Structure 1
Amino acid sequence: MTTIDPAVFDRLPLGRDPAAVRRRIEAMEALLEGMFTVPGLNRRVGLDFILGLVPVVGDVAAAALGSWLVWEARNLGMSRWQLTRMMGRVGFDAAIGLIPFVGDAADFFYRSNTRNLKTIKRHLDRHHPGTVTIDS
């Protein structure tokens, strides 16, 4: 029987503190929008695009994952206006995704999760400056 090293759990961002939330939302955005690069196009795509290829069910699943970012933003205490804008982006992405072929192209070019991540990062930078990370 194998045992799990407890140090593994120290690296997981499971806390409610703003720094853990920042790491979690950055990881989710990377999963949804930038898992791999499309050869020849040098365009990063992720789970949002892949799920969007599955009619209806995939778009609903992608919208649910995008809504999780909005839920995390709500837990950070972001304003209703910001949450409404973020949910509007997720809703627009989901609605346009329901249109065959057009929705797939929209998922390739319109990145609602990346835009929502930028909104959350601006909030964190302003209200929780200790969580700021420097990208190299």
Structure 2
Amino acid sequence: MTEQRDPARDTGMSRHLARVMDDLVTIPGTRIGLGLDALLGLLPGAGDILGSGMSAAIMYDAASRRVPLLVLARMSWNMLIDAALGPVPVVGDAADVAHRANRKNYRLLQESLALGHRSSRSGPVYVLLAALLIVLPLVIGIVIGIVVLVALWRLLIR
């Protein structure tokens, strides 16, 4: 008998994205994983912008499955923490590795789906609030990245 996939629970894209962003390789001799998010964090400003954009994809996946807004708010908070800590030299890179916003957000998505939690809000209200919860941390991450790039540019042209 062939195993049927449940489209409501098939989160392959989010699972792969969380793995690539937070746990692509493990540091030998440790249980610490490094992903693309940590590498992007080495690019001041631009890396934070790219990382925020990729992280928003997991939230989009969660919203398209109508996870409760409280879950999206927690995911948004994880993205904000990641965006705020990212630009801090060295500490921000270590924080990216320790915080693992993408992995946390994937787990929140999985838990919500496993428990069968779905939003009871009406379609347009849910879409509007979900869009705000996704776009707000994304915009803040982009603004932080631009501020860092402008500051670096000003330092370089002096």
2:51 aligned partner: 62
Q: Deviations over 1:36-95 (max 9, x none)?
A: 112344411111111111101101111111111111100010122211110110111011
1:38 aligned partner: 27
1:96 aligned partner: 85
Query: What is the CA-CA distance between 1:97 and the residue it aligns to?
Result: 0.3
Percentage identity across paired residues of the two chains: 29
The match for 2:64 among 70, 75, 87 is 75
> Partners in 2 of 1:124 and 1:52 — Cα distance?
30
2:17 aligned partner: 28
> Partners in 2 of 1:34 and 1:88 — Cα distance?
20
2:116 aligned partner: 127
Q: Deviations over 1:14-53 (max 9, x none)?
A: xx92243x11111111111111112344411111111111
Aligned length: 113
Asked if 1:50 corresponds to 2:36, the answer is no
1:7 aligned partner: none
What does 1:98-113 align with in structure 2 at a 5 Å threshold?
Answer: 98-113=87-102
Question: Structure 1 residues 42 and 122, CA, compared in 2 at 3 Å: closer, same or farther?
Answer: closer
SS in 1 for 2:115: helix
Return the TM-score normalized by structure 1.
0.76
1:131 aligned partner: none
SS in 2 for 1:18: coil
